[in-house]
Amino acid sequence: MQTLPPWPYPRLVAHRGAGSLAPENTLAAMRVGASFGYKMVEFDAKLSQDQVAILLHDADLERTTNGRGNAADQPYAALTKLDAGFWFDVAFRGEPIPTLEAVAQYTLAQNMASNVEIKPTPGLEALTGTAIARQVAHYWQGASVPPLLSSFSLTALEAAQKEAPNLPRGWITKELDKNWREILTRLGCVSIHLHHRALTKRLLGEIHSAGFRVTIWTVNDPARAATLLKWGVDSVITDALDLIDPK
């Protein structure tokens, strides 16, 4: 059995800042997450045309802003003019797309841990992995709890590994590849981030025995979350901040 790497992260993590209770990937969402007592937030980071790291899940702007087209095709100055809150509720009208730097400043001030999901626009995987890792290393320099980088993209994780090898990394996958041990080892990952339906208690034991931590997404049923935590899952990502107490 391999020794498990350090895991200084809370057992419950707020998905995209505040789950489904605020406009995702905004500072407003981070504030809502903090208001429910969550001490760790997960969020998506990608690049503007001029390589400013911003928070946004989709490649395009339509779903979560009043913009059009891909964020990667627009300079940050243009993105600052968009409304990333009104789509969710009029109470969040005028909420901007935040920079990674602004989120780092907020979470550090609130003593919140961060899971930065590298979410590259298709075709920009290596560039995004490199740039996000570089900026995370800079903005969180000296943090008592290092931010956890994660991604579905193996190319982005490999680029992040080369750029900032000391930052902890996790591979996100919906289903477990038969070569999961080799992939995690090659990329120097400390964790695997699995869809909760892909996990069994036996598999959790196998992953832990191989020396990797396990984060599970996205669990919104309190009973399911309690079961997974009882099994010994290291962290659970949830949208249900109002139903699942982080304490």
Question: Which one is catalytic: 15, 138, 195, 208?
Answer: 15
- Whether residue 112 contacts residue 96, with contact meaning beta carbons closer than 8 Å, is answered with no
Query: Is residue 15 among the annotated active site residues?
Result: yes
Pairing of strands 53-55, 40-47: antiparallel
CB atoms within 10 A of CB 91: 11
Q: Which residues contact 186 (CB under 8 A, 6 or more apart)?
A: none
CB atoms within 10 A of CB 159: 24
Question: Which one is catalytic: 57, 193, 195, 196?
Answer: 57
- H or E segment and range at residue 12: strand 12-14
* Residue numbers annotated as active site: 15, 57
